[in-house]
Amino acid sequence: MNDQTLTLDKEELAFYQKTTGVQDVDKLKEHITEVAKKALKVYPYHCISTFGFIRFRIRRSPASYAQLLELGASRPDAFFMDLGCCFGNDLRMAIEDGYPAHNVIASDLRAGYWELGHELFNSTPSTFPVPFIPGDIFDSEFLSIQPPLQDSPVTTIDSVRSLLQTNPRTVNFLRGHLSAIHASAFFHLFNKEGQLIAAKKLASLLSPLPGSIIFGSQRGAAEPYEETDDTGTTFYRRSPGSWKEMWEREVFGGKEMITVEVRLQRNEKEASGDLLWWIVTRV
């Protein structure tokens, strides 16, 4: 990969110039490329080798993003977690757009990406003190399966804030405290069973307050299907209908607690490139 294949639109250029402090366009592209090369050694995701990570998925669903920012502005202690945050581009965008930084939490399987995020944005844990919690969604020590809360969590906001300062290796203490969870380019990494397990776990973290949201995007399809890559790993591509049904019937046990909105963005040139954009809202 090289910086000649990296393109930035006007919005992206302005954001990265501001957040990295690198104003010269050629030097900025070179800086982003060098960090991306290091990231490929952490794990060679396609979105890194193609510079897809620089795009703001969180903003590309305007209605969901507006709900996120409204929660940050109107609800005290509205904790927001970006799961599978990689370098932290999306959560940094949300903070730039007004989400209170002291209520933001980052998490990813690979801590190396978060560390490279500091290199990308020329920050440190002191200058950008958003807590990062590394962990595997399928590790019960990191996050166990519990039913969605119907009442207020038993733990206090103060206890949550205290634990966030201890470099935790679990998010179980956040159960019922998250007003918003963003998970993009995340669920499509798993098979059908894995997607359901991950969804149930995230549902247990969500605040029962009306308006709390889980939202994101991932590869999908008009009709659900299973595919296997060259390594033998199986992935499941859900349709809007199967994604909605999973959340309503299998995760929350009915439509009483949530509404689910899903849309499919078609890519006629490559069916596997179709994207699901979705939001689950507590009612």
Alpha helices, DSSP H, located in 134-249: 157-164, 192-205, 240-245
* Range with lowest mean pLDDT among 50-54, 127-131, 200-204: 50-54
Total-model pTM: 0.95
**Residue 268 has what pLDDT?**
61
Residue-level pLDDT at 61: 86
CATH architecture of 56-282: 3-Layer(aba) Sandwich (3.40)
pLDDT at 185 exceeding the cut of 60: yes
CA distance 244 to 250: 10
How large is the average pLDDT for residues 158-176? 98
CB 137 within 8 A of CB 172: no
Q: What is the pLDDT of residue 2?
A: 72
| Residue 64 exposure: Cα atoms within 13 Å on the Cβ side | 25
Residue 180: which pLDDT band, with cuts at 50, 70 and 90?
very high
Of 175, 167, 235, 236, which Cα lies nearest the Cα of 202?
A: 175
| Cα 217 from Cα 264, distance rounded (Å) | 10
Per-residue model confidence as pLDDT tens digits over 96-122: 999 999 999 999 999 999 999 999 999
Residues 79 and 220: their CA atoms lie apart, in Å, by 28
More confident residue, 62 or 263: 263
**What pLDDT is recorded for position 33?**
97
The 10 Å CB-count burial string (b at 16+, else e) for 230-262 is: eeeeebbbbbbebbbebbbeebbeeeebbebeb
Instruction: List, for residues 3-61, the tens digit of each pLDDT value.
Output: 778 999 999 999 999 999 999 999 999 999 999 999 999 999 989 999 999 999 999 88
Q: What is the percent of the chain with per-residue pLDDT over 90, rounded to a whole number?
A: 92
What's the rounded Cα separation, in Å, for the pair 236 and 189? 8
157 φ/ψ angles, rounded to the nearest 5 degrees: -60, -40
| Spans of all domains in the chain | 1-55, 56-282
b (16+ CB within 10 A) / e for 263-281: ebeeeeeeeeebbbbbbbb
Q: What is the pLDDT of residue 271?
A: 46
Q: How many residues would you count in the chain?
A: 283
CA 148 distance to own-chain centroid:
19
